[in-house]
Every structure is written in C-alpha cells, then in structure tokens.
Amino acid sequence: MGWIKVLLDGQQRLTTLYLLLKGEIPPYYKESDITHNPRHLYFNLKTAEFGYYQKQKMKDSPFWKSVVSCFNDKLDAFTLVENLHLEDAEEKLEIGRAVNKNLARLRAISDIDYHVQSVPQGLDIDKSIDIFDRVNSMGTKLTDAELVLTHIAGKWPQARRVMKQKIEDYKKARFFFELDLLTRCFVVLLTNSALFKKMTEEIYQKTSDETYKEVWEKMVKILNYLIPILKQSAYISGSKDMSTNNVLVPLVAYLSKNGGSFESGLKNQFLYWMFLALIWGRYSGQTDQRLDRDVYLAINSSQPVFDLINEIEEQRGRKEIKPADLEGRGSGNPLHRMLYVITKFNKATDWANGGSLQDTMGDYYRIQSHHIFPQAFLYRNGYDSENHLDKKKVNEIGNRAFITRDANFDISDENPAEYLKKVSEKYPEALKQQMIPIDQSLWQVEKYNDFLVARRKMIADSINLFLENLKGREMEEAINYEEIIKGGENDYVEFKSSLRWDYERGNVNKLMEHIIAKTISAFMNSEGGKLLIGISDVGEILGIDKDCATLKNKNKDGFLLQLTQVINQYLGKEFNQYTSIKIIQIENKEVSVIDVMNSAMPVFLKNADKEEFYIRASASSQPMSIREANEYIRTHWEE
C-alpha cells in the first residue's frame, strides 16, 4: 500500500548486534571495514559475566562460551550440566537453573520489541534524517557537523568514505584533519558561512550529488594548494605546528572566491594573519561566531587581511609579542609552537651531528623539545619539583630548544655551563640560531632567572621580526564602500536611511534614534559590524542632509554630536568606546559609517522604564526574552 518499515538505530549498535546474533559480517560492510570484531566476546553461563577471550581463563571452563554460540539453538542448559558429570543432584539442579536463566536473559535481546512508526514511501532523505535526529535526541546526539555530513551522504552515499580516504592522504603529509573540519570547509564553499546551521533544508533539497562532488573537488584542490605553501613559506610542517586546524577555514574561504590561489602579494600577508590568529588564540572561545566572522571578511572584504588582523587587535589589544607573554608559559602554549617555526626558519643546526633541523620538519619523534637547563639538574640545584611556581619556571618556553632525540640523549642532565660551551665551540652559530644567550655567565645555575629574562626577550624579538618580514609591504587601508553596499545587508552590515528623519512622514521621528541604538547594541552583543546611515534598505544612497537640517548645528559635526548623544542616552557613555564613527563621501553625498566592536560586557538598550536585549542574527537585530538573554550572556561572556 505504499508503506515501508525501516529499522532506526545507531549504525555501531546495529552492526554489533548483527555480528553477535548472526555470527557474520552485515551486508553493508566488508571484512576490512570491521576494525574491532565483537565476535571474540565471551559469556559465562554460570555467572553472567562478559569478557573477551583469554586462553588461560576460558579454555578449560565449560561455562565460558562465545556470545555468537549462545544464540545457537544447539546450546542448552540441560546438555551442558549433564556433561559436567556431577554426582550431587541438588548441585546439578542449582547450576542448571542459573545457566538456563542467564542463557534465557541473553537470548531475550533478540526478542526486544521496536516501536513501529509508519512513514510514507515517498519521504525524501532529508526529512528522514530530521526524524532520526529527533528520535535520537535521548541518545548520543549528532553534532552539527555529523548531521550535515549525513545529509550530504543522503545524496552522495560515498561522501564519508571519500573524505576518510582523503584524511588518510593528508596524514601522510603530517596534517591530521578531522571530518568536522572538512565538513565545515564544505559548508563554507556551499553557503559562504562557517556556521553548520546555514545548511538549510532548502539547500539540501536543491543540491544534487554532482554539485556535492564538484564542491568536494574544489575544496581538495584548495587544500592541495595550501598545504605546500604552509610547509614551504610558513615553515608549518604539519598539524602539530598549529594549535588548531580551524585557522585554515578563512584561508579556504578566501581561496574559494579567488580562483583557488592567492592574489599577488597577499600570500605572506595571509600567513602573517594566520600566525597572529594562532598566537593569540583567535578560536579558543566563541569558535563558531569568530570563524563565521572571519569567513565573512575573507570572502566579502575588499581588504580581507587588514580587516582580519583588525579583529585580532580588537580582541587582544595588540599584535606584537612581549617578553612577559612567555613568562611561566609551557609547551602547551602556542608560542612554543611558534618557537619551533622560528627555529626552522633560522635553519638551526643540530647539536649532535651538525645537520639541519629543517630536514626533519615536523617529525616530533626525532625532534624533541629539550630543556636547556635540564629538569633533573635544576631540581638538584635548589628548585622544588613539588612547588607549582618552580615547576612552571623549570618547564617554561624560555628554557626550551629543539634538538634531535640523539642529541637530547647525549646531553641528559648535564650542566649547561659545560655542554653549551662544547656546542658553541663545535657549531659557532648553533646557539644564536635558537635564540640562546651567548653570555656564558648566564649559563650558571645561580643565574637561571637572568638567563630566562634574556632569552624571553630574544624569542619575542625574533618572533616579531619574523612576522614583520612575513607581512612585507604595508596593507592597503582604503575600504571599498560601494562594494559593501552592493553586497547588501547581512549579519555584519546594516543600512539605515537616517538617524532621526522619517522619510514616510516627512518629519523628525525619535523612534528612528531608538532603532539606530538598537542596531548598535545588537552588534556589540554579537561579533560587531558596520552600520551605514544614509543608505536605504535596497542600497540607494540618500545621504544625511535631511538629518543635519533638523539639528541646531546643521553640518556633519552636529550629526556626529547627535549620534554620540543617542548612544549615551540609550546605551550609556561607557559603550562609546566600542564605536568608531566617521563621515564618508559616496556619489557626492555624505554617509555616516559606524564601525561597532563586540563589547566586553552585555549591552542593554534603555527604552522608557524597561531594558531590552538584542543580538545580531538573520541579518537583523533580534530581541531576546529575559531567559534567553541570561543563557546567551552565560555562554557568550561568562564562560
């Protein structure tokens, strides 16, 4: 009658049950796909204990049986007990009851009833996936990336297998990518956004398997172009040289819109931004929002690198590395990885054989992070291994150098005043290449603190110099506002016709000022953005002349004063610091541009005797209820 029945459950659980109940590989797998075979699971019929086969424990026991054999009708409690040859009838009966009970309980698994839900035969794959996600809400929840990949695989069944094969290829190049990363890049190419939620039902419906394959081929081509650049130009030998692979997503976004390659002069500038993003932990919090913001800038900005770097400066307050940034920081800090990059850039010489460390790029099994003042040596000379502050000082970046495993083994816990002298005599440039002070008085254990101070400065100066050289020429700061207006409104750009002039009524309307303040607060509560006043919703250039005519001081200075008062009145004077206001000329008309930074604290809009809370979403300012606002504040700021 046009209805079908589908067994809905997790693939791993279904596969395990199939293997144990049937004793054979399910038809949707090959033998090579089964990496962990549960058919080696055994069951103790007497104690109901499970365990994988252990010869010494199970070989001679009549009660340990493979779970697969337990589902075979030939196995029964009566035959097993009779084969025990027990004289005591009561004992035989007691064991028989236990075996029979445990065997029955195990076999009952195959008799569990499943809820039957009728589903129309013509239901499309995307609706089916949505049903699964809802039914599975009490189980292991699918991540956003898994859900997107499931939809893609609904149209292109080989997608997951193709991606996994490519992941193996990237591993050979020492880049360890997860399915989540590749899926996110996939979403970027399909939606121009880093947010998985942008993959809507409409997109799934209209996207064919051929389109998915074309997008995949484009993405692979971009990554294949990008990885050699990372190795050759950025001295990034693999994923272990980066604190997160997410930093590659905006690069993929830019390349996807620019023919798959960097425009002249931009390659090193993008690498400069990438290092800043890694050093300052751009994606260590609010990952989705920041990735989406950076993807937007990489795709839409007329000066993407400048705007991307500006985001980091606004987030961290500066770009340059200071010696204090290294104090007490250990090998888990991004600056430790940066030190390794600089070491390779300097073509550092190994202390054991004089070979170049560059030749073993990224091979952490051969290149090791060595304590210049060995741990054991410092702990023997006044430092306490149980003292938290002492441990941080012993293990900090300033006490690290990169050498081969053989060199590390040879040095062991030797006094640095002795072995560093040998290294400098044998390889005169070796210490300078690794930013180690050549003042031998600093190699004495009593001068360890002075050694750290000197080396922190040397490392910070070397990193800053490397980055400045990488950046090269000054970046163009001119913004193409015509292109921004042509691109229309989105989560980071909003147009308003005026500050206070109502074009429909033909008079001043104070409600317009409330709307302006609402938009600014929404940007502050989200990831920032640009508000252009004097532009209609459809991008028509209106200018601010009508606004200026309503003011006491009828010029742009009067306009700027009035706009500042609006922010003070509705948001508070303390939030002016998060805005930068200027007047620009477009088509011979004056337009106001307000660059809004994301605020360090929640921003509430004052409206009469109540407060309102807005965020930026779906290219508009969205209000939140008290409950929603509290939850948003908790996740956006407090965490």
Amino acid at 429: E
The count of C-alpha atoms lying within 13 angstroms of the C-alpha of 354, restricted to the half-sphere facing its C-beta, is: 6
DSSP, collapsed to helix, strand or coil, labels residue 176 as: coil
How far apart are the C-alpha atoms of 280 and 509, rounded to whole Å? 45
pLDDT value of residue 7: 65
pLDDT value of residue 475: 41
pLDDT value of residue 121: 66
pLDDT value of residue 607: 87
Q: Are 53 and 73 in the same domain?
A: yes
How far apart are the C-alpha atoms of 541 and 587, rounded to whole Å? 7
pLDDT tens digits, 7-34: 666 678 888 899 999 988 888 787 777 7
DSSP, collapsed to helix, strand or coil, labels residue 436 as: coil
Asked if residue 431 belongs to a domain, the reply is yes
Q: Where are the alpha helices (DSSP H) in 317-415?
A: 334-345, 375-380, 388-395, 405-411
Asked if residue 118 belongs to a domain, the reply is no
pLDDT value of residue 504: 92
Q: Are 373 and 440 in the same domain?
A: yes
> Which has the closest alpha carbon to 447: 434, 458, 457, 437?
437
Q: Are 181 and 285 in the same domain?
A: yes
> Which has the closest alpha carbon to 14: 139, 148, 183, 179?
139
pLDDT tens digits, 139-197: 666 788 888 998 898 889 899 889 999 999 898 888 999 999 999 999 999 999 999 98
Tokens of 169: 């290829």
Least confident of 243-257, 364-378, 605-619: 364-378
Share the mean pLDDT of the chain: 87
| Over residues 103-115, mean pLDDT | 86
pLDDT value of residue 477: 41
Percent of the chain with pLDDT over 70: 92
Domain count, the chain: 4
Residue 476 has pLDDT above 60, yes or no: no
| Over residues 605-627, mean pLDDT | 90
How far apart are the C-alpha atoms of 433 and 343, rounded to whole Å? 7
| Over residues 196-214, mean pLDDT | 91
DSSP, collapsed to helix, strand or coil, labels residue 571 as: coil
Radius of gyration in angstroms for the set of CA atoms belonging to the chain, rounded to a whole number? 33
DSSP class of 37: -
pLDDT value of residue 359: 44
Asked if residue 119 belongs to a domain, the reply is no
**pLDDT-derived band at 546, boundaries 50, 70, 90:** very high
Asked if residue 603 belongs to a domain, the reply is yes
Q: Are 130 and 258 in the same domain?
A: yes
| Over residues 609-636, mean pLDDT | 88
Residues 6+ apart with CB under 8 A from 591: 481, 532, 533, 534, 535, 541, 543, 544, 583, 584, 585
Spatial contact of 266 and 250, defined as CB atoms under 8 Å apart: no
pLDDT tens digits, 280-334: 999 988 899 999 999 999 999 989 999 999 999 888 888 899 999 999 999 889 9
pLDDT value of residue 609: 83
Domain boundary among 284, 312, 340: 312
Query: Measured in Å, how far apart are the chain's first and last C-alpha atoms?
Result: 54
Q: Are 277 and 419 in the same domain?
A: no
pTM, full prediction: 0.64
Q: Are 239 and 264 in the same domain?
A: yes
Residues 6+ apart with CB under 8 A from 587: 541
pLDDT value of residue 114: 72
Residue 479 has pLDDT above 80, yes or no: no
Q: Are 283 and 376 in the same domain?
A: no
Tokens of 264: 């002249």
Q: Are 416 and 378 in the same domain?
A: yes
| Over residues 67-84, mean pLDDT | 84
Asked if residue 602 belongs to a domain, the reply is yes
**pLDDT-derived band at 353, boundaries 50, 70, 90:** confident
Q: Are 143 and 243 in the same domain?
A: yes
Length of the chain: 639
Residue 478 has pLDDT above 60, yes or no: no
**pLDDT-derived band at 474, boundaries 50, 70, 90:** very low
Q: Are 444 and 353 in the same domain?
A: yes
Tokens of 238: 């693999």
CATH number for the domain spanning 540: value is 3.30.950.30
Q: Are 442 and 575 in the same domain?
A: no
Asked if residue 503 belongs to a domain, the reply is yes
Residues 6+ apart with CB under 8 A from 308: 250, 273, 277, 294, 297, 298, 301
Q: Which domain holds residue 287?
A: 125-312
